[in-house]
Structure 1
Amino acid sequence: MPDPARDLAGYGPTPPDPQWPGGARLALSIVVNVEEGAELSVASGDERNEAIPESGQLIQGAPDPCMESHFAYGARVGLWRVLGVLDAYGAKATFSSCGRAVAHTPALAAAPAARGHEVSAHGWRWEMHAGMEEATERAVIAKTVATLAEHAGARPVGWHTKSASSVNTRRLLIEEGGFLYDSDCYDDDLPRLVPGAGRPHVVLPYAFDTNDMRFRPGAGFNHAEDFSRYCIAAFDRLMQEGGRMMSVGLHLRTIGRPGRIAGLEQFLDHVARAGEAVWVARRMDIARHWLARSG
């Protein structure tokens, strides 16, 4: 049987009224994942290369400059293209950033922060934490916080682990003392508080379907319109229901490509037509709102 502590019931048929600011029917969170330079790479001194490189070829036991070049596109070009589109629509996003990426290329955090975007934490390396020793994970969290604070001008208050977190991750974030939220769940359309945490901590669900990661070969998206059509369909449904939160995941090296960026523009065009019925917000603002409404 599943662990009794695992909540499969959730809010059920009567979810709480989120009371979004201005009476908005939907809170929209745009998350830009910043991973360029944090991907596993033998050339960076890591134990192996990324298992799913952008090139479709798997190289292990030797440096893989092809894989590194695919990631580099996000830092060299994608960052500026994505920032330009967000600026054009006045949309504030959360840049979920790996510490090592920012340590190597500070503009990855400094430029979004200067434009009013949130810089949150996405681990040190771009790696899952499942099975990580507690002392190691605690040190990884501390190193990531310090690096992002240095280059973004403010410490991160949000965290998202690549893939699987460890059994200790959420507790360690709460114990660290400066985090408002984590996004290590995919099971709801509304935030929630962690019960019995000792201090307020919000879980903000994330999503892998409304996400440009589906441009990977065989994952479902081929054209820019595939991304925008799917995200618009999800947006319209949640707007119809009302009282929901929606996450859209982006990656600099993915949506930042010239043949894909129109998908983000098409989606933001659609969002703009909803006017004040949608609250486009950074994740830290959603977390703070949830804490305030929860008393």
Structure 2
Amino acid sequence: MTDSWHQGAAAVVTLTFDVDAETPILAQGRRYAQHASTMSHQAYGPDVGLPRILGILDDLRVPATFFVPGWVAEQRPGLAGSIVERGHEVAHHSYSHRAPTSMTPEEERADFERALAVFAGQGIEIAGHRAALWEASWQTADLVAEHGLRYDSSLMGDDRPYRVATRTADIIELPVHWSLDDWEQYAFLPAPHVGSVIESPAKVLELWRAELDGMRRYRCLFNLCVHPFLSGRPGRAEALRRFIEYALECGDVRFARCRDVAEAAAGDPDLPTRRPRPPAADPEIYPG
């Protein structure tokens, strides 16, 4: 079983934290930089939520991966390095948090490479990538492979790791899903509109526990996506703590950084390979 990506575990949990700070709001328009309340809402993530989450991870002794936009790492020197010093992984999450699907290929490349330059300048080794808003383009996987990264975590084509064939090399995809994203549960701002329902942490804990139970039966990757400005708030942080404690108590769940899962997956001879491509969309059937 040791040559399988799951290394014998019933399910593998990757705790991932998107340290977006102000970037997803600024990506909606730089005018929001003048909204003091909104910017304080976002700054809560790296300033308050992130230290609280790191404390929980220390308490429970589990590793995690932090996807950090290059702009955030640049504006807060030392943040990425402090995460790595705690034994966690820092990964590429664009530079500006603008969705690749909203950019030209040239703009996406420039944004991608600008983030890499920031991390290189800070001495942070980058192994993986996650597209802003999970809105990867058909070029994104090629960029990941071209720049020597080993994995992506933006697509939803499975609930286990799989290989993605690109023009230069295969990469590992660590798939995501909206049900395992706290944004869909907690995000709310009046402007820009990013969500309108604030769920109870108890309901979110129930959702995540149920999904983990199902994934343990089917031997899946539980790839949780959490935002410090959302789940770093006290009641939500306690729900996160209780979820981790539940997974540990199961006894058959393994926690790992994304880069370590990707490395195990790359050595798994049974891992499927997919070649994603746009579907045929006849303009006479699907206008616009």
Q: Structure 2 length normalisation: TM-score?
A: 0.83
Could you give the per-residue CA deviations for residues 121-166 of structure 1, whole angstroms, max 9, x where no partner exists?
1100122011422222222111111212333x33211111122122
Higher relative contact order, structure no. (Cα contacts within 8 Å, ≥ 6 residues apart): 2
How far apart are residue 112 of structure 1 and its match?
1.2
Counterparts in 2 of 1:196 and 1:63: CA distance versus 1, 3 Å: closer
Residue in structure 2 matched with residue 286 of structure 1 by the alignment: 261
**Residue correspondence of structure 1 range 114-129 to structure 2 within 5 A:** 114-129=85-100
Residue in structure 2 matched with residue 8 of structure 1 by the alignment: none
CA contact (8 A) 1:124 1:143 kept: yes
How far apart are residue 37 of structure 1 and its match?
3.6
CA contact (8 A) 1:37 1:100 kept: no
Residue in structure 2 matched with residue 252 of structure 1 by the alignment: 228
Structure 1: 5+ residue stretches without partners: 1-16, 50-59
SS of the residue corresponding to residue 189 of structure 1 reads: coil
Could you give the per-residue CA deviations for residues 167-204 of structure 1, whole angstroms, max 9, x where no partner exists?
3111122222x210111212311111123543231111
Q: 1:263, 1:150 → 2: CA distance?
A: 36
Residue in structure 2 matched with residue 154 of structure 1 by the alignment: 124
Residue in structure 2 matched with residue 9 of structure 1 by the alignment: none
SS of the residue corresponding to residue 253 of structure 1 reads: helix
Q: 2:234, 2:257 → 1: CA distance?
A: 25
Counterparts in 2 of 1:124 and 1:19: CA distance versus 1, 3 Å: closer
Q: 1:73, 1:105 → 2: CA distance?
A: 13
Residue in structure 2 matched with residue 93 of structure 1 by the alignment: 64
CA contact (8 A) 1:145 1:155 kept: no
Counterparts in 2 of 1:258 and 1:61: CA distance versus 1, 3 Å: closer
**Residue correspondence of structure 1 range 2-151 to structure 2 within 5 A:** 18-21=4-7, 23-41=8-26, 48-49=29-30, 63-151=34-122
How far apart are residue 92 of structure 1 and its match?
0.6
1:225 aligns with 2:202: yes
Counterparts in 2 of 1:198 and 1:70: CA distance versus 1, 3 Å: same
Q: 1:40, 1:261 → 2: CA distance?
A: 22
Q: 1:61, 1:205 → 2: CA distance?
A: 31
Residue in structure 2 matched with residue 12 of structure 1 by the alignment: none
How far apart are residue 25 of structure 1 and its match?
1.1
CA contact (8 A) 2:66 2:89 kept: yes
How far apart are residue 40 of structure 1 and its match?
4.1
Letter in structure 1 aligned against 2:258: R
CA contact (8 A) 2:25 2:32 kept: no
CA contact (8 A) 1:34 1:252 kept: yes
SS of the residue corresponding to residue 100 of structure 2 reads: coil
Query: Which structure's residues are more often helix, by fraction?
Result: 2
How far apart are residue 27 of structure 1 and its match?
1.1
SS of the residue corresponding to residue 106 of structure 1 reads: coil
Residue in structure 1 matched with residue 168 of structure 2 by the alignment: 198
Query: Given the alignment, which residue of 224, 246, 249 partners 1:273?
Result: 249
Q: 1:35, 1:66 → 2: CA distance?
A: 16
Q: 1:101, 1:38 → 2: CA distance?
A: 7
RMSD over equivalenced CA pairs, Å? 2.1
Could you give the per-residue CA deviations for residues 21-66 of structure 1, whole angstroms, max 9, x where no partner exists?
2x2111111110011142343xxxx7814xxxxxxxxxx5872111
Letter in structure 1 aligned against 2:228: L
Q: 2:214, 2:241 → 1: CA distance?
A: 19
Q: 2:166, 2:17 → 1: CA distance?
A: 31
How far apart are residue 240 of structure 1 and its match?
2.2
Could you give the per-residue CA deviations for residues 226-253 of structure 1, whole angstroms, max 9, x where no partner exists?
2211111111111123x21111111010
Q: Structure 1 length normalisation: TM-score?
A: 0.82
Q: 2:33, 2:23 → 1: CA distance?
A: 17
CA contact (8 A) 1:38 1:99 kept: no
Equivalenced residues, count: 260
Counterparts in 2 of 1:133 and 1:262: CA distance versus 1, 3 Å: same
